[in-house]
Structure formats: C-alpha cells, structure tokens
Chains A and B, each alone.
Chain A
Amino acid sequence: MVPIMPEIDIGAVKSRRDMVRFLDGYSLERKEELDERKSKRPLVKTQLLEVLDGSHCRPGEDYSRVFERRGLRLKVIDHDLYGVRDDKGQSIGFLERLSPRIVALYSMLESKHLTPAVRRVVIGSSELDWVWLSGLTFSVLWDLVVKLSPPGRFAKLVFTHHSVYEVDEELEEADTEEELTEPQEESEDTATVIERRAARFQLIDRIHVVSERLGALQRTYSPLYAISQLRFPSPAGRGGHDFYENGRVTNRSVSFRDHRLHVLFVSRIYEQLLGRTERQAWYSVQTSLKTPGEFRKIIGAPLTVQFVEPLSTTTFEQWIKSTFERSRNRFRLWGHPIRLGPTKVHVYGLDRHLWQPIFLELTAKGCLAIIPNGTCGNTVQRLVTNIQRYLDPSAKVFLGGQRYEEMVQEASTSISYDSLE
C-alpha cells in the first residue's frame, strides 16, 4: 500500500519545538522540490477548525474526547499539542490548540486524502466546524497583505461564485453539500453544459498592480468580490501561505514557523470576529440591574444582508426550495418557511450543523437574521460565505448598523503583538 502520508513516528516528536523543527525541515525540502518542479511528497497543510461544546460556544476541557467521537485518536505531545492518528492507526498529523476556540490540524496528507478525512470528522459533529472566511473577510485580509508585503511581491487571489439557484431549465441540479476547497478539474469529456453564472478566476500579479486595480475591477464585475483564496507572501523567501475559505491553509513557503505565524495571526483575527459578532448580535431578554426580575429589555443587533443584485422570483423560489426541502443543503439550515408573499419567507429554524437556533427573514432583496443568545458566531460567518458564493458576490452585510468589513477591520487591529507567540 502506498503510504498516504510520509510516515513519521509521532512518538519521536516530544515537544512543540520538535514538531516545528520537523515540519520546518520538511517544508524546506518540499519547497526545493517545488522550485525544481519535481515535488514528490505533499506540502504541509493546516486545517483550522472551531471547537464548541455545542451549547455555550465554549470548548470543553478535554479535546481528545471531541475528536475521539469522530474517529480520531489524540495523544498528548506538549501543552495544547497532540499527535493525531485515525482509527486504523494511520498518522494524520498534529493538532494544536491555538486559542480557546480554534485548533489547527497540521498535516502532510495529500489534499485528496486530507479533505475527505476532515469532512468525515466535521460533518456529523455539532462540536466541530470549519473556520469560514467569507469574501468580505478576505477583502480585509487582502488589505493586510498589501500592508505587510513589499509592493513588488506577487499576490495570488482566487475568486469563486456559482449562481447555483439560477434555474437552468435544461438541467435541475440537486442541491447537495459540497466542500469549499481546492476544486477538482472537471473532465473535458464528462463536463455538463450548465447555463447560469459561474465564475472562477485565479489572479497572480504584483501586489501594487492588484492593489491599484482590484476595486475598479470589482465594481465592473461583481463575482470579483467573492474572494475564495488568498496568499500571504512569506517574508522568509519565495512563495507564501494560501488561505482557503473553509479554513484550509497550504504552506508554499520554505518555513513552517512562518506558516504557523500566519495561521496564528488569521485565527486570532477570526476569533476576535466571532467574539464581536456574538457580543453584538446575540438577542436575549435581559433583566435590568436596577430592578432585577422586573424590568426586561431586548438586547442584540440583527444581521442584515442586502443583495446588490436582487434575485429573480424563480431564483428566490429555487433557493428556498433547495435550502428547506433538502436536509443536506448548502446553507446547512433547517426550518419550515412561512410564506409571506412571492418573494418573502420567515423561518424560525436552526443551523443544522451546530443545531443552534436562528430566525431568518429571506427575501429577493436580502436576508435579515436574529441570532438568539448562545448561537455561535460561526453560523453568521458560514451564512455570509455561502451568500457571497452562491447568491450575490457583492452582497452588503451589516451587524446592527455597522458594516461587516468594519468589524473585520476592528478585529484585525485589535491583535496585539504580545498575543502572537
């Protein structure tokens, strides 16, 4: 049997330092192979995941039990660092707890093996979710790339938008979940002809060129707002760190230490964003401090998404039907739509992945969501990511009266140097 991952003796890695040293050396070798166009072994990849306890958005004390329930075996290596094997004893990689809610799985598995392995772990678990980086979040991260990198370095951005709810009368596609990750090339012989908007671009150019022109391009062609992948150039040399919208990060640099620093940086921005989303959005009826038990008021702020290009009635209808009549739908929502007209429904439903409540008003012009207290901020990030990817790439998002991008910007500026290891 061909080894899925270069077998390493996890037992030989006794500390975080050992792991970093090992992955540093491995990354350097792979980068040299890449430069010589003879890469034989997979690159180091990181999968960022959020861990919840399912009811209070707080991770449980014992991580290993969460992963064991999903068929992974964790062995403590160091403080907040584990070796990970699957239920057959095959090495998967290392799992590091980066912050109270975010973990990173570092792996040398090939994408075609890592992607389904992670999917198996996450998809049936209400305690684990992918980290969701929406196009709007990426647009703020892009600004950081511009600030952090010399203007002459090369940037790489990928834009993905599929108007899957535009009905092609020739073809009614089943709305099944798909993983937002590196796309598989479709065979020229088997590719189906689908007539509806689908856009996927890869843009590689010098940072100053992209920076000067991206805004104008986006205003001209809205799918360019749907950034689905972004490279942070590495200051340690050529290449960089490719972040995908589902929290996958591929190390295409010579340094694993630099890779880990970028992973830490983005995960902390994300955790800040989750915290801010929850603090602002969570709706509850709270008791006044002055007269407890008597004066109650509503606390919270709704999430508003405005479609810049309103949906046609048929697209709206298809979106509602696909989302609420199929249990495995892209938005992972459950509920019974209450019809309030041709292009308006109310849903008092659930995020079907995390099993937490969400109340939605969906119309052809946008979406309004009430997030009850306790529902995880990840629900919001996933909703925004999916809206940009499948409905309107240029959608404008607000939490209360504040623009979502401003929140991401604030989250990114609140990361202090001493919080980075």
Chain B
Amino acid sequence: MTALNDLIADPLFQLNSLLWLTQPLPAVSSIRPLLLERGFVVHAIGPLLPLPPDIRLALADLSIATQGSARPDAVLRRDRDMRYGLVECKGKAFGTKSSTAAQARTLVIAAGSQMAEILGLAADEVQGSVAAYWVPTQAGVEMHETLGLLHGELADAKIACGTTCVLGLEARKDAIYLVPDDVAGEFFGLGKTPLPYLFIEDDNDPRPLYFIPYDPDSCRSPGDDKYCKRILFERIQATVLGAAGRATPPAELRFQAEDLLNSAMLGSYGLWENRDSAKHMRRLVRQLLADLEKAVCTEVAGVLSYVETAGWVLRIENEASQERVCSALAKYTPEAIDLSQDPQPGLFDDAPDL
C-alpha cells in the first residue's frame, strides 16, 4: 500500500487520472469515467488564467501574496448547467504561508464571480464555478483548513472569491477511490460516498496509460520520476523510429527537440512557459538522442549525428540501410540510461529549438 500511497501523491498520476475520468469508456473498462458520467469534460489543460486588472489593483494595496495569473492543471466544464471547475493536483497539502499559497489565492479568486471573463466567455455562460484541489485523502483535512483560511483572508479584504473544495484520492485494496468533500460531492454530482474509479486487478499496478508523460515542474518520488522519464523516452524513440520506418530512401530526416517533445506529449510541450523547465526537457531529449546515436552508429556508422544548425540528422541512403537503421533503433532501449540521474547543463541549453 505504501507504493500506492506514493502513486496517488504523484501530481502527474493525478492529472492523467483526471483526464481518464473524463474519457468515453464502456462499462466493462477497468477505469470508470466518473466525471464524464456526470457530464463533465475537459475544457482546458493547463490554461493560463490572468486576473482582471481591477482585481489586481485591489490586491496591489493589500499585503496578501497572489499571482497576476495562475495555471490550474485543468478546467472541467459541464454544458447542461454551465458549471466550470478549476482543478489543481497536489501531492500534499500546504499552509497559508507556503509559496504555493499565492497560486492558490489566485485560483480561488479566479473561481469567483469573474470566472466567465477570465475564461473569455460571456457572463451568462458560467452559472457555477469552483476551485477544486485534488489531493490524497490523508492531506484532505489540512487542505480543507488551508483553503478555508485563504478564502477567509480574501473575504475579509473584500476580494470576491469563489467556492473551494477538495477531491480526495484514496488507495484501497480493490481500487483507487475518489473521495469528494461535501462541496465537491454536490458540485460534481459525486455524492458523499467514496467512489472507486481505477480498479486493481490481479495485484497489478493500477496506473493508467499516461496522456501527459512528464512534467518537470511537479514533485514526484524518485521511482515515479524514473517511470515518467522512461515513458517520455519511449515515446521519443518511437517518434524517431516511426519517421525512419516511413521514410522513402534516400532521405535525410531532421529532428528538433521541440518537435520531438510535442510529438511525445500529444502537443502539450508548447504549454511550458517556465523556461528552466523547457530547457530541462530539451536536455532530456539531447541525453536520449546522444545515447541513441551511439547505439545506432555502432550498427550503421555515421547515420545519426547532431548538426548545430539543423538539430539531429538521420541519413538513410537506401532500403538496405533503412532496414539496418530501423533494426538498430528498434533494438535500443532507454532502460540503458540511468534514468535516476538528471542530464547536466550543456552548451546548447539556450538554443531555442535544438
């Protein structure tokens, strides 16, 4: 159960779980899409929500730490009654004095009466809103208290803010359960009892396939970090191998870090505004491709190399060489890399796309 408790505290597991809760699935699936069943779909993943100037002006005169804008992990929407929920995934609770509290205050304000404007919608297009924190149940009480205090602080300062709630996650023997508090139970239509959504079969690890495989900004246990890095590398390797397999020789294929990352992450890499995180991701790509180069060039000399102005270039001369390149690329496994080590800063870190 310890491993499961680590898993449910991983924000990337939480985000991917949340996405699965809104996917169309048959009743026979081992994942029950509880939120979709209640009409909720994903409105946006990781959107940047700036606060309106009037609120920022009001906040400027106060000594309450907030941010000019915040990026919740997801926004959920239910069309039939125009409800919107900002959802933030956290591995543990935090206090009112922590750095995370500034982001939380911003989300609590964003979920208030100006939610429609913040989302770029007409005023009557939002009829209900909430800021929901998605945490392991052990952190639920503390999270609840913190949100109550933050809400109180803002209300005392006459800043309009929205309703807050906690969606708990609990690992039991048979399944991972969604444990809503009273507000979340009412808002999302989940009721008051814990609901299983990710069933555990044959003692297997319940984690689902990951839509978003990696997020350098979220904190994970070393084991989970290694797991996520491996998925990212597998997907990048598949992108390179797929391109090599589809090529019509003679061909020169160019791979740039940003394209590979977007391809591996269903296009969500472009979301990262955090330059250090983006740099870290590009470093990971270089780490993988440098290792891939060694493996492939041992089989077919000089076919894959890094060119400063073009990125990684794979040259396929003819069908015979294509077969050998594909075979070498297919044989390589990212498991060979020490995934517990982060790559060192390099010379081309500041190159935007290499």
Please list the residues of chain A having a beta carbon within 8 angstroms of any beta carbon in chain B. Answer: 54-55, 69, 124, 126, 283-286, 288, 290-291, 294-298, 301-302, 304, 306, 327, 334-336, 338, 340-344, 346, 348-350, 352, 354-357, 359-361, 363-366, 368, 370, 372-373, 396, 398, 400-403
> Are A295 and B44 closer than 8 Å at their CB atoms?
yes
> Are B239 and A357 closer than 8 Å at their CB atoms?
yes
Residue among A294, A346, A348 facing the most chain B CB atoms (10 A cut-off): A348
The interface stretch among B45-53, B275-283, B291-299, B340-348 is B45-53
Tell me if B246 counts as interface (CB < 8 A to partner A): yes
Q: Which among B26, B211, B239, B319 is the interface contact of A298 at CB below 8 angstroms?
A: B211
- Residues of A contacting B209 with CB < 8 Å? 346, 359-361, 368, 370
> Are B23 and A341 closer than 8 Å at their CB atoms?
no
Tell me if B352 counts as interface (CB < 8 A to partner A): no
A321 to B: closest C-beta gap in Å: 15
13 pairs, A vs B, C-beta closer than 8 Å: A295-B44, A295-B47, A295-B75, A295-B119, A297-B43, A302-B23, A340-B204, A341-B204, A357-B235, A357-B242, A361-B208, A370-B211, A372-B266
- Residues of B contacting A370 with CB < 8 Å? 209, 211
> Are B45 and A296 closer than 8 Å at their CB atoms?
yes
Query: Given that A349-B238, A359-B209 are known contacts, is A338 also in contact with B47, CB under 8 Å in the complex?
Result: no
> Are A301 and B24 closer than 8 Å at their CB atoms?
yes
Q: Which among A294, A346, A403 is the interface contact of B48 at CB below 8 angstroms?
A: A294
Tell me if B202 counts as interface (CB < 8 A to partner A): yes
B257 to A: closest C-beta gap in Å: 18
- In the complex the two chains form, what is the Cα distance from A304 to B243 in whole Å? 27
Query: Given that A290-B120, A327-B327, A344-B205 are known contacts, is A296 also in contact with B245, CB under 8 Å in the complex?
Result: no
Q: Which residue of chain A has the shortest Cβ distance to B46 in the bound complex?
A: A296
Q: Which among B19, B28, B44 is the interface contact of A304 at CB below 8 angstroms?
A: B28
Q: Which among A285, A335, A338, A368 is the interface contact of B230 at CB below 8 angstroms?
A: A338
> Are B47 and A296 closer than 8 Å at their CB atoms?
yes
B65 to A: closest C-beta gap in Å: 25
Q: Which among B46, B238, B266 is the interface contact of A283 at CB below 8 angstroms?
A: B266
- Residues of B contacting A354 with CB < 8 Å? 246
Total CB contacts across the A-B interface at under 8 A: 153
- Residues of A contacting B271 with CB < 8 Å? 296
- In the complex the two chains form, what is the Cα distance from A410 to B234 in whole Å? 36
Give the contact-size bracket for chain B.
35 or more
- Residues of B contacting A55 with CB < 8 Å? 246
> Are A297 and B242 closer than 8 Å at their CB atoms?
no
- Residues of B contacting A306 with CB < 8 Å? 26, 28-29
Q: Which among B19, B43, B334 is the interface contact of A295 at CB below 8 angstroms?
A: B43
- Residues of A contacting B44 with CB < 8 Å? 288, 294-297
- In the complex the two chains form, what is the Cα distance from A340 to B224 in whole Å? 13
Tell me if B4 counts as interface (CB < 8 A to partner A): no
> Are B268 and A364 closer than 8 Å at their CB atoms?
no
Query: Given that A297-B45, A302-B25, A370-B209 are known contacts, is A336 also in contact with B335, CB under 8 Å in the complex?
Result: yes
Q: Which residue of chain B has the shortest Cβ distance to A286 in the bound complex?
A: B267
Give 1 or 0 for each of B52-94: 1 = CB within 8 Å of chain A CB.
0000000000000000000000010000000000000000000
- In the complex the two chains form, what is the Cα distance from A340 to B3 in whole Å? 12
Query: Given that A338-B231, A342-B202, A365-B201 are known contacts, is A296 also in contact with B25, CB under 8 Å in the complex?
Result: no
- In the complex the two chains form, what is the Cα distance from A294 to B104 in whole Å? 20
Query: Given that A327-B327, A341-B204, A357-B239 are known contacts, is A294 also in contact with B47, CB under 8 Å in the complex?
Result: yes
A287 to B: closest C-beta gap in Å: 9
Query: Within B209-260, which residues are at the interface with A (CB < 8 Å)?
Result: 209, 211, 213, 227, 230-231, 234-235, 238-239, 241-246, 248
- In the complex the two chains form, what is the Cα distance from A249 to B263 in whole Å? 38
- Residues of A contacting B156 with CB < 8 Å? none
- Residues of B contacting A336 with CB < 8 Å? 234, 333-335
- Residues of B contacting A338 with CB < 8 Å? 227, 230-231, 234
Residue among A291, A297, A365 facing the most chain B CB atoms (10 A cut-off): A297
Q: Which residue of chain B has the shortest Cβ distance to A126 in the bound complex?
A: B246
> Are A341 and B202 closer than 8 Å at their CB atoms?
yes
